[in-house]
A and B are shown apart, each in its own frame.
Chain A
């Protein structure tokens, strides 16, 4: 319903828009967290600026609706460059002298195509990267292009573990894509080569660093890693005063509006796995670093009390964002709030972990469904149409003249299927007669190649319980190699693996030419088990 209303409003003339707005039929809302703490004048961190009025410390977190969803159902990036759990958080400090400080940070899921099955046992929640690097780079670049337009230089702060298998894989892939990003290039400005890196990254293995005796306090080690960069980014500072500028030399005194004193030059993009617990703690530290810089510049030294208020705001922020994404408050929030871990805090964390496990496995599918219904995203939902005769006329004309601005294209798709009878030796043989038969020229060079296998592993109870993906990987390589050998022989473009899936013996792999990637979106995979009955005396019937 919202989309048609917003489109309708955008077509109105200015005064019509104002009438519509004043009717208050449309209310803008944000999903996230907003909270303000009042700091009495006696406790003001800016002691040099005398005032009897209190100042306020505010936190505003806005969650992106572009890839909204619950923890296990929405992860990673989509083809438009939007990531799951993308939040912009702004720390605002307002002093009654009209001085206003603001600092922005962002967090977001690791910008790769990845998934994680919910699973009841923590170890079983396997992380899966579902797309090849070449097929991922375009979406990755889109994501950072849009961030760079909004915020300038981006500094990635990756808190993932380098030792845990799934997280290490994500980190390695993340690094690969940063290296290949156009924003990460050395820019040659008029002869002199200047490194104008607009995309940088740092790794801070949160779990490893906080494992020692210091516990979470060791997290402040991250300061050393990013201090220089943080100083370079600075912060936003403006003077909001409706003051009157003194007239010099008999000039008339003029009223001055908002004066921008300093601007924030870049942004930290922090991530862990969920971008909830570890991320929130680190973002608290970064926010503190920015405020410290601001106060340092003014030669002020705030009391411990000020930082307690700051931490409390951030802990509330973490809880709120966590409730939206994972269904419970944030882990480590006791530490964020009080600066130290206690037994009560540890027990609270354990309780939240258990609650999350329940919610993510049993309640989230319903929640995700509800989110999709409210956003009008379910496939069987019909859109709401508003009566808008002018728009209808324009649309009808557009349709009539569609040939003038739209083109149609054909894509050749090669499809093949083979039952391998559980054998793997075929992968070493020459597959070109199958994958690239000598058919007429017009059927050569397909844009999409879809290959299906049955009995890619033998259909044994062991494989049903836990399928070994090695066989599938072997066949993926063999097919890809054959396709690309043939492509090279004919000097045509090579293929990359878009996505593959497997259910015990059945496997499906889709290869595409990189040049058509920009036309492909919303790639998804799914499986469906079929239960068969065993005969009373028998073995499993084999296909």
Chain B
């Protein structure tokens, strides 16, 4: 096991709800500001490699919901981000959000948790909620 560690990965549960195949995937991608490539590889490993019985993959479903700590960062300095939050400028933050790569790949619903970015008034966690590729709805939860 030298050099490798398997402490991250994905857990998935799927079901048939009437005629609709639903799949939930929770995952914890690699951490670190610069590990953008590793996170993308984590996504590939999971979405292509995770299998259910009879070789069914995540893609073989009608509704796929990814939820987890994907560890993508906003590609701006800490100081800049705090400034943007104070200004309520979610758009610019989103433009620089590494998670846009993930949203473009997965034709899925993405629920994401950012622990690192905390508003200066320390109130709540910033949670961007993305639906598909077309609409982006943000909810400050």
Contacts and interface: CB of A to CB of B under 8 A. Distances in A.
Interface of A: 73, 369, 372, 377-380, 409, 411, 413, 415-419, 421, 434, 437, 448, 450, 452-455, 459, 463-464, 498-508, 510, 516, 519-534, 540-543
Given A505-B7, A519-B18, A417 B53 contact: no
Contacts of B89: none
A85 to B, nearest CB: 16
Instruction: Kindly state the interface size class of chain B when it binds its partner.
Output: 35 or more
Interface stretch (B63-71, B77-85, B90-98): B63-71
A452 B67 contact: yes
B53 to A, nearest CB: 6
B3 interface: yes
21 contacts: A415-B65, A417-B113, A418-B113, A437-B141, A450-B65, A454-B26, A464-B6, A464-B7, A504-B9, A506-B27, A508-B12, A525-B14, A528-B46, A529-B9, A531-B4, A533-B3, A534-B2, A534-B4, A541-B31, A543-B8, A543-B30
B13 A501 contact: yes
B15 interface: yes
B50 interface: yes
B111 A415 contact: yes
A540 B12 contact: no
A380 B87 CA distance: 51
B60 interface: yes
Contact of B24 (A504, A508, A530, A543): A508
B16 interface: yes
Given A501-B13, A522-B15, A524-B13, 15 more contacts: A379-B54, A379-B55, A379-B60, A418-B113, A419-B115, A437-B141, A452-B67, A464-B7, A504-B9, A507-B11, A519-B17, A519-B18, A528-B49, A532-B6, A532-B38
B51 interface: yes
A527 B69 contact: no
What 7 pairs across the A-B complex have the smallest Cβ distances? A452-B26, A528-B50, A417-B67, A454-B28, A543-B31, A454-B69, A529-B9
Contacts of B13: 450, 498-501, 508, 510, 523-525
Contacts of A504: 6-9
A417 B26 contact: yes
Contacts of B109: 415
A270 to B, nearest CB: 27
A74 B88 CA distance: 54
Interface in B102-133: 109, 111-113, 115
B15 A521 contact: yes
A526 B69 contact: no
A520 B10 contact: no
Nearest to B41: A530
A379 B56 contact: yes
A109 to B, nearest CB: 16
Contacts of B24: 415, 450, 452, 508, 510
Contacts of B55: 369, 372, 378-380
Nearest to B12: A526
B13 to A, nearest CB: 5
Residue of B16, B31, B54, B71 with most chain A CB atoms under a 10 A cut-off: B54
B67 A459 contact: no
Contact of A528 (B9, B14, B17, B18): B9
B111 A525 contact: no
Contacts of B28: 419, 454-455, 505-506, 543
Given A377-B54, A450-B24, A454-B69, A506 B141 contact: no
A206 B113 CA distance: 52
A501 B11 contact: yes
B52 interface: yes
Nearest to B46: A528
A533 B37 CA distance: 13
Contact of B10 (A379, A506, A522, A524): A506
Residue of A411, A452, A510, A519 with most chain B CB atoms under a 10 A cut-off: A452
Contact of A530 (B12, B14, B46, B52): B46
Nearest to A379: B56
Nearest to A73: B53
A524 B18 CA distance: 15
A415 B67 CA distance: 8
B5 A532 contact: yes
Given A379-B60, A454-B68, A524 B52 contact: yes
B5 A540 contact: yes
Contacts of A421: 115
A447 B94 CA distance: 31
Contact of A542 (B16, B29, B31): B31
Contacts of A521: 15-16
Contact of B12 (A448, A453, A525): A525
Contacts of A464: 5-7
B57 to A, nearest CB: 8
A520 B29 CA distance: 30
Contact of B8 (A369, A453, A501, A530): A530
Nearest to B48: A528
A541 B29 CA distance: 11
A417 B56 contact: no
Contact of B7 (A380, A411, A418, A540): A540
A527 B17 contact: no
Contacts of B3: 533-534
